[in-house]
Amino acid sequence: MLSTCFIHLKTQPLWIIILSLLGFLSIVKNTIFLLKWIFIKIFRKPKNLKNYGSWALITGSTDGIGKAFAFQLAKKGLNLILVSRNLSKLKNVSSEIRAKYPNTLTKIFGIEFSGPNISARIIEMKEDIKGLDVGVLINNVGVTYPSAMFFHEVDEEIWMNLVRVNVGGTSLITRGIIEEMVARKKGAIVNIGSGASIVVPSHPLYAIYAATKAYIDQLSRCLYVEYKHYGIDVQCQLHL
């Protein structure tokens, strides 16, 4: 039967053979992707996050995705370092978590990621958490436009604020935490990106926001390669 197929192919024009080969390779690629997805979702056991360390640090932890991460990590038995700009909200979230998970230890630290003293504040935070085995870092801090705008309409302070928070804030926090992970040769970093960066072909009217999230995606890819031999897992989670 196989020889019959080869004989049949020899009688076909070259362009049909090339298209058939490309189609076959595409099927193989997608089949491998599907099998990998099935293995990860169904058969692979979830990692015990406590193996990375007993503490997790979460930025942007007072609302939305960051707050949800905080509760999920507390549920898994990790102690939490909650970082955000609003101390009042931080105290409320910390109280909510400890009410639901009494055995969870929490520390809060207020940082204004768009402020001029962010580097100094991160140094202060590192001193405050010195000695804690921070094994998980969730970089959720981020801002966007107040509303959809053409690029030339965006006020300079708005787009500078976007870059300071989304790019600078995430980079500085990561650099501050990853050093200890390297020393312990283990850790996990999850950066919260956006489908605006790579999932859709473009994200008009939010150009600078999409560009900052593309930075987060590429930063994650590079750090994964740089630090995997240190036992540090890095990934970027994209949401739409």
Backbone angles phi, psi at 234, to 5 degrees: -130, 130
- Give me the residue label for tokens 């650099």: 175
Distances (CA, A) of 184 to 125, 177, 232: 19, 11, 10
**What residues are paired with 55 via a beta bridge?**
79, 134
Of 207, 141, 211, 134, the C-alpha closest to 172 is: 141
> Residue 142: CB partners within 8 Å, gap ≥ 6?
60, 165, 166, 170, 192, 212, 213
> Residue 62: CB partners within 8 Å, gap ≥ 6?
82, 84, 86, 89, 90, 92, 93
138's enclosing H/E stretch is strand 134-139
What is d(CA 70, CA 62) in angstroms, rounded to the nearest whole number? Answer: 9
* Known active-site residue 215: no
Catalytic residue, chosen from 52, 206, 209, 227, is 209
Catalytic residues: 209
